Chains A and B, each alone.
Chain A
Amino acid sequence: MRTDGYAPIEDYALIGDGRTCALIARDGSIDWLCLPNLDSPSVFAEILDARRGGSLKLQPDIPFGASHRYLPNTNVLETTFTTDRGSVRVVDAMTIPCVSLAPMRELVRVVEGVSGSVPMRWRFAPRFNYGSTAARVEARHGVPVATYGAEAIAIASWNAGTPAGEEDAVVSRFEIAAGSRATLALATAYAEPLILPDPRAIASRLEGTIRFWEHWSGDRQYTGPWREHVMRSALVLKMLIFAPSGAPVAAPTTSLPEDIGGERNWDYRFCWIRDSNFHIDALLQLGCVEEARSLFWWFMQATALTEPEVHVLYKLDGGIGITERTIDLAGYRGSRPVRVGNGALEQIQHDIYGDLLETAWLYSEGHHALDHDTGVVLGRIADHVCDIWRRPDSGIWEVRNGPFHFTHSKAMCWVALDRAARLADRGELPKRHAARWKREAAAISDFIEQQCWSDRLHSYTRSAGSHDVDASLLMLPIIHYGDPRAERIQGTIDAVCRLLRDGDFVYRYHAEDGVPGGEGCFLNCSFWLVSALARAGRVDEASALMDRLIARANDVGLYAEEIDPTTGAFLGNFPQALVHLALIDAALSVQRSM
């Protein structure tokens, strides 16, 4: 059910081809699509502006109920509409191009009559450049084509009525009987001639796309608990890897609010170095060796311009020219501003060095020895960490009222130097400065133990000298900072549960962060709690919590960045890679601890 034209975030499913993604609501409306790439301007953005964002709707023309699911082991979506006059199945996919001449990007919607005879309608209303420009639509060989600058989008249809212009949209109505079939194909081009697809080629590409995803899933090696959800997470993560560069995007959307009506609305269509170690670990554990290698090469290429300093986030093409600006869209249920770009780029966040060195360590552990040049670069980065770890930073949560001496940031600097020293011992990093790395790692550990511990809370603290906690402290056992079963770790887990937990969910912190408004519970924190509990030996507790968290996924197994602990409504960008990475780590942690 829509509110003011907006579907609940949890109503959406994602389809993608490794270059861009589309969000499809359960009612059959494609409300988010950027072309030609994940980080390009949108052509459908009804999720951010119900009036003029643009969408492609395909649904019964009479009252209906709907359910959707992914075809098993694929990223191909199947929606079933049920009406008084019968039922209809719609299969949606972004096709993977095969050898034949395919459009630059192609989104296919196949309609199959299941029972009875159901009146259907579709409405194609593209709005280019984040809703700023209505399309100019012309017929080319009978096919409506919308153009804007170097972009062109054709909406080809077969057995799906006669398209007609209606205001700024193309609409059509048709009847689908049991056993009959209709097809819609969105073929797009950017800076090249449009390729108008033919129905046989579309059917072939759709078949090939289903086979590709089934084959990819079949190659995954996970046999542990919650397999279905781990596999769904793997499939989502694969969609969120931008294939032309190998860079993983944090989420395919911008400005889905952390608080309805609030202003915590951010653009996540970038690659955060912070997610890298989770990505590499998950990919290697699931047998995605080539993806892991591609990802590591990308990280080393992307950081080459700035090393030994590393930026917090990078564009998907490896660039760093990211400027945050607001755009003129109404925002999801009035949540403004809608932002494009991300100001976190300008922040100093020390934890990313730990993430990068941990990534190298995991990559090396995964039977990929580091080459000499990479080792030299990582050595320079470790030297840089020795120079900066005593300074405050903005931390993992990118607070805008800092900097502070965050405990998590210090611990990640310890990770950076610990892994660098271990890699040097193995001969994969130059040994020249290894003694310094070990000495500084010990100094960081002393700082954490003395300055970041509270006897009153019986817990590590959010920052040096503070008397509150932060969900990022749950990372300490995950990053192997000390013995995960030690009293101080157990006390910290208990303190986080006591002070930040709301049912099965965990708030990041309760402190001020320099941004007005509230937020829900970050779902990755709940999965981190599962991982921390499992590693601390509290496996039954971890397993029970995991069962309950798994049940909070939406009906197609996806999670947003946050959840409202009271209503269970999803908040924030969707689906979020870090949550699915944390889910995989939680499942693996429980499996290893059993």
Chain B
Amino acid sequence: MITRTLLAVTVISWMATPVLAHAFLNHAEPGAGATLAQAPQEIALSFTEKLEPTSSGMSISDAAGHDMEAAAPAISGNTVTVALKPLAAGTYRVSWHAVSLDSHRTEGSYSFSVVPPG
């Protein structure tokens, strides 16, 4: 029984190569919940899978809902970056959506704050 199970698992794993999976957020800069003394000039997100450039993206908004992107997001491989307008002190919301090459979609959002010292 166990031998059959292991054999089946091995066969399935082999058949699955190469794998195209959902793209999950792997790293964000600045990260979720960050409190920054200096306003960032860009947001950079990296994902666990390569992205479909035409269907993936990100937006940044301030507390009043104003868009804070200075340009359209740049998507390369598994990363998305976007340049920002000058950010004043306050809390900002990053909203992203990612479509991996197999067309599976994921999305997410998080906040960070800019709090100048003093």
Do A and B interact with each other, yes or no?
no
